[in-house]
A = this chain, B = another copy of it.
């Protein structure tokens, strides 16, 4: 499989997971949290999927297409480790859908970032909320959900926020 094939599959998986996540949270109130703006393509997709929701966006430095720059009041600008901590007061237990795409292109780096961020992301989610993530995420309050049929295992990840993990 070429890098072009692999890239297309990754984007198709990302879109299928975002589409499913938006459907799964339809009955929940709450904003969307986009963790990483990048060029703004998934932000634009989330806007289309969730036109009635507020979408908060974490980004270190905005470099998106001008059409895809969030309004200033929804932009959490800076290192996510800082901005997610700062967002606790306003967002804890409120977010209905979060999407984590570090977009580093480096699997180990993305995984390390996901491990560092997951304790900061999970508390912001409301019960039943969905986290869509490229890297795998582990947290006591998150359970992995089945992926859309066309998405290969481990290409993307979907989690639901539960109140606590039940004992085995």
Contact = CB atoms under 8 A, between A and B. Distances in A.
Contacts of A5: 15, 45
Interface stretch (A36-44, A119-127, A160-168): A36-44
A2 interface: yes
A106 to B, nearest CB: 11
Interface stretch (A6-14, A24-32, A71-79): A6-14
Contacts of A15: 4-5, 8
A4 B34 CA distance: 14
Nearest to A49: B2
Contacts of A44: 2-4
A81 interface: no
Contact of A3 (B8, B12, B41): B41
Given A2-B44, A5-B45, 14 more contacts: A2-B41, A3-B39, A3-B44, A3-B45, A3-B67, A3-B68, A4-B15, A4-B41, A4-B44, A4-B45, A7-B11, A7-B41, A8-B11, A11-B11
